[in-house]
Amino acid sequence: MPSGLADLLHDAAVLHRFVDFIEEYCKEQERSQTYVDASGLFFQYVEKLAAGIKQELGREIERAQRFPSRLPILRSNIWTLKNYLRLLHALIKPAADAHTLTIPAPLIELAAHQLQQVERMKNSCVVILLTSEFMYFQRPHTDIKDQARIVETFIPKASFPPKLGFIELPYSQGPSFFTNLAIYHEIGHFVYEELSNSDPPHRHIAALKSAIVRSLNKAFRKRSLDPETFAVAAKILGNWIQEIFCDLFAIRLVGPAFSFAFVEMLGMLGFLSEKATVIFNPTHPATACRFAEHVRMLQNDSWWNAIANIDAGQKKLLERLSNLPQSGYKFYWDESTPGPQSLVQVFLDVVVPAIRKLVRQVTPENVTAVRRFEKARGSIEDCLRVGVVPHPTSSSPLDPVSIINSAFCFYLTALPEVVKRFEGADAENDVAVHSLWTKRLEMWTMKAIEDSQIQDRFRGVRGTALWSSLEKKS
Amino acid sequence: MTPMDLQDRAQYLSLALFSQKVVSALMEYVDENKSARLKPSLAEALDSLLHAKRPSVSSQRKVVAFTSYEHLRTLEEVWSATDRGKAIRMMRVVLRAPKNPKTKAVANELIQLFAQLQNQALWNFEQPKPMSPRVMQRLCHPA
């Protein structure tokens, strides 16, 4: 045996065992749980990859025997593949945990349905991951996809499913509804990455990239940046762009309920302290800047007028922070190190207008959604007030976006009234009772959305040949 | 590992995989006389390396490697400016005359260069370093 072959064989055997386990694990999950379709596609990819890697390992050993001088390189190749599997490994268990009993399935189905109406996103799907992080997060699928494309040159039978995204929900929030509206922001990251990588590039994405170059030239005009520094500055602007894009994208799809959910989430994470709200950091723009964009978009889309009479702390906070002067925004690398302030200014002046245009271009118009909300809100709130799942007053199903916004407004303004009505005045300040009734409200909202989806499906089938034949039989 | 750590590390792994792709195509060519994957892999690498010389954000097409800080830093750690120039010249030689018997010796040298890059990228994936103070300083304090 050539020197070094034993080490290579050992490494290959360890990797073989690792992929063998992963392959069996995915198969077992598919047999024992029910998942949304996208998870199944992901598991099938992992299974094919595992089978392909096992075959490739055999070929690597054969190569090492024929060309012993290549042993160190072949060992590095095995190490690289193992690390790719490490990244996938971090996704597999959270994906397995997110079966339909642990996630807000009607909301996920609704978001997936709305995603199909976004420009260039037809036939896309999202894998839900339940994570131990107390933070919503969209896995950067661009890296995984780029890596998968290269791995495919070594393992040709394992193609990564096209237009597949990953979204993480904190496992503790799986069954809740209102805070899970944050998934719309995470879906925004998926959309942005898909648009950025599409071929040919989306016209407005190309415009945005030109805006980045213009911004950097303007911010650092006195000197030319070296490639590394330029890459860092462009990355920071890219991070800020995505956050604003995703917020506005979410608002376009789900209305002010997203802004309210966002305020709730930031509050839960402790990010709403007075000082923190004006700070830009390398990964996120200042909360005040984000809120200013929220309010601007809601005003332009007529949502702001439609919720004019909502007297809730969340809305007041949005309004107050959005009115803070831009001159007060600061950029810090970390808690104490100031960053280049000029980057913030060019971002606001040059880049943000391009983001607004992009969002409007790729998302469907929502004027009718606002009108439907205004029309249905009263009857939805009436149902919730008496503890009934909201239902339509005509033959048309309720619009899910109207249900979500009406229920959120109701939750923010009328929950104490419901508690008092059903539990009596003694329960007015009882935390456990408030928590229980929030949960109930969320369940009624979710059921109303599910009913609306079923009715919609029924309307789609009625009148078809299949419907007529079923009618005859009955 | 927080999600952000994972994201930063993933860039290093992308570079390791990219290098592996180039090395594998070159090894197939040198050892087994197969050249099906040679041209696309080398052309991609050459394009990326030429792009790395000048800082920009490409709005028209996607450059596969050497656009992120992690890629550029790893490149800087492993290849000197002379190495880069040499790699560019060698890639052009292999692309221009793959059938010339002398080209295999050049390809062999390229294998060593890209193998070094792959190993450094793997090392950085395991042990990511904080951003270089030089870069932070250049951004914060205009010359």
Cα(A333)–Cα(A340) distance, integer angstroms:
9
Q: Which two tokens stand for residue A299?
A: 């005003």
pLDDT at A191 over 60: yes
Distance from CA of B73 to the nearest CA of A (A): 7
Mean pLDDT lowest among A65-69, A115-119, A130-134: A130-134
Q: Is the dihedral of CA A375, A378, A379, A384 positive or negative?
A: positive
DSSP A186-242: HHHHHHHHHHHH-SSPPHHHHHHHHHHHHHHHHHTTTSPPPHHHHHHHHHHHHHHHH
Cα(A13)–Cα(B104) distance, integer angstroms:
32
**Interface with A, mutate which of B29, B42, B66, B69 (most A CBs under 10 A):** B69
Residue A345 forms contact with B (CB below 8 Å): no
Q: Which two tokens stand for residue A365?
A: 């118009």
Distance from CA of A188 to the nearest CA of B (A): 17
Cβ proximity of A444 and A384 under 8 Å: yes
pLDDT at B18 over 70: yes
What is the pLDDT averaged over residues A328-336? 90
Residues of A in contact with B133 (CB under 8 A): none
Q: What is the pLDDT of residues A422-438, one digit of tens each?
A: 999 888 889 999 999 99
Of B13, B18, B31, the CB nearest to A83: B13
* Mean pLDDT estimate for chain A: 91
Identify the burial level of A442 via C-beta atoms within 10 angstroms of its C-beta, where 0-12 means exposed, 13-18 middle and 19 or more buried.
Answer: buried
Of A66, A197, A231, the CB nearest to B62: A197
Subunit contact B57:A235, Cβ cutoff 8 A = no
pLDDT at B130 over 70: yes
| ipTM at complex level | 0.91
Of B16, B31, B56, the CB nearest to A80: B16
Of A83, A231, A283, the CB nearest to B68: A231
The secondary structure element, H or E, covering residue A109 is helix A105-115
pLDDT at A462 over 80: no
pLDDT at A171 over 90: no
**What pLDDT shows up at residue B3?**
46
SS3 state of residue A126: strand
Residues of A in contact with B54 (CB under 8 A): 227
Distance from CA of B59 to the nearest CA of A (A): 5
SS3 state of residue A164: strand
Q: Is the dihedral of CA A182, A188, A189, A194 positive or negative?
A: positive
pLDDT at B4 over 50: no
Cα(A287)–Cα(A269) distance, integer angstroms:
13
Cα(B141)–Cα(B138) distance, integer angstroms:
6
Cα(A126)–Cα(A110) distance, integer angstroms:
12
Cβ proximity of A295 and A319 under 8 Å: yes
Subunit contact A222:B18, Cβ cutoff 8 A = no
**What pLDDT shows up at residue B2?**
42
Of A87, A223, A235, the CB nearest to B10: A87
Distance from CA of B92 to the nearest CA of A (A): 22
E strand intervals along A23-102: none
**Interface with A, mutate which of B14, B20, B21, B48 (most A CBs under 10 A):** B20
Cα Dmax for chain B: 53
Q: Which two tokens stand for residue A354?
A: 């391009």
Subunit contact A72:B115, Cβ cutoff 8 A = yes
Among B89, B132, B95, which Cα is nearest to B113's? Answer: B89
Residues of B in contact with A230 (CB under 8 A): 55-56
Give CA angle at B10 (B83, A277), nearest 5°.
115
Find, in chain B, the residue whose alpha carbon is nearest to that of A227. Answer: B55
**What pLDDT shows up at residue A173?**
77
Residues of B in contact with A77 (CB under 8 A): 20, 23-24
What is the pLDDT averaged over residues A244-262? 97
Residue with tokens 């959305």: A449
HEC letters along B81-109: HHHHHHHHHHHHHHHHCCCCCCHHHHHHH
Distance from CA of A253 to the nearest CA of B (A): 26
Of A133, A213, A228, the CB nearest to B57: A213
**What pLDDT shows up at residue B1?**
37
Subunit contact B3:A210, Cβ cutoff 8 A = no
Cβ proximity of A335 and A200 under 8 Å: no
Q: For A336, which DSSP code?
A: S
Subunit contact B13:A84, Cβ cutoff 8 A = yes
For A163, other C-beta atoms within 10 Å of its C-beta total: 18
Subunit contact B122:A70, Cβ cutoff 8 A = no
What is the pLDDT averaged over residues A214-240? 85
β pairing state of A164-170 and A279-280? unpaired
Query: Where is mean pLDDT largest: A102-116, A219-233, A373-387?
Result: A373-387
Subunit contact B6:A340, Cβ cutoff 8 A = no
pLDDT at A388 over 70: yes
Residue A87 forms contact with B (CB below 8 Å): yes
Find, in chain A, the residue whose alpha carbon is nearest to that of B134. Answer: A229
Instruction: Determine the residue type at A209.
Output: K
Subunit contact A151:B122, Cβ cutoff 8 A = no
Cα(A465)–Cα(A471) distance, integer angstroms:
10
Cβ proximity of A401 and A369 under 8 Å: yes
pLDDT at B7 over 70: no
Find, in chain B, the residue whose alpha carbon is nearest to that of A75. Answer: B119
pLDDT at B53 over 70: yes
Alpha-carbon distances of A168 from A26, A89, A190, A262, A458, rounded to whole Å:
18, 15, 12, 16, 31
Residue A223 forms contact with B (CB below 8 Å): yes
* Mean pLDDT estimate for chain B: 88
Among A328, A359, A357, which Cα is nearest to A344's? Answer: A328
Q: What is the pLDDT of residues B87-125, one digit of tens each?
A: 999 999 999 999 999 999 999 999 999 999 999 999 999
Distance from CA of A150 to the nearest CA of B (A): 7
Residue A199 forms contact with B (CB below 8 Å): yes
